[in-house]
Amino acid sequence: MAPSDERELVARANQGDAAAFEELYRRHRDWVVGLAWRFVGNRDDALDVLQETFAALFDRFPGFALTSSLRGYLYPVVKHRCISLLRKRRRVVAIDEARTARGDLAGELAWQPDPPGEFAEIISALPAEQREVVRLRFALDLKLEEIAQALAIPTGTVKSRLHNALKVLLKVV
């Protein structure tokens, strides 16, 4: 979808056009559910995140200003809603009990959005900041400007992190 097309829909939605709201939802719902599913690993939770994400987006109208792409705007919303959901659902366990049951706390407390697989294994050696940029660029197919918006960092920082990550990955692969 062309950015101008998204901006046109946002402008119409800002004027109260229900069809524009519906079109924005239709175009991005599958992407939001897929992203949420990667974070929470559960269909029902991903659908809950979808509903919360679009409810929060539509609450911003009228007056919502789209500065990049809608996916660039939605990524951090989905990510934060998933983290909040995971925190709410985390079982509260005594630390000594968790250590005894699992040997350490890593499996119980670590948040790992990538499902097990070759891609996750390859990028696991990268620092978290580089890993997130690589995931957004290649797993979610976001443009550099969208990544910058999603992470609230300059585009130059995105380029630098991606460049450094690719240098490391070329040595590994």
CB 77 within 8 A of CB 54: no
CATH number at residue 149: 1.10.10.10
Q: Residue 36 pLDDT more than 80?
A: yes
Choice between 120 and 114, residue whose per-residue pLDDT is larger: 120
State whether 126 and 92 are in the same domain.
Answer: no
Q: Which domain holds residue 30?
A: 1-112
Query: Quick one: what percent of the chain has pLDDT higher than 70?
Result: 82
pLDDT at 77: 94
- Select from 168, 165, 170 the least CA-distant residue to 144: 165
Q: Residue 105 pLDDT more than 50?
A: no
- pLDDT tens-digit map of 47-57: 999 999 999 99
CATH number at residue 88: 1.10.1740.10
- Which residue type is seen at 30? D
- Select from 1, 9, 16, 143 the least CA-distant residue to 75: 143
The pLDDT confidence band at residue 101, using thresholds 50, 70 and 90, is very low
pLDDT at 109: 30
Prediction pTM value:
0.66
Annotate 44-69 with three-state secondary structure.
HHHHHHHHHHHHHHHHCCCCCCCCCC
Angle (deg, nearest 10), helices 155-172 and 144-151: 110
C-alpha 41 chain-centroid distance: 13
- Domain closes at, from 96, 112, 128: 112
CB 61 within 8 A of CB 14: yes
Query: Quick one: what percent of the chain has pLDDT higher than 90?
Result: 49
Q: Residue 25 pLDDT more than 60?
A: yes
pLDDT at 173: 67
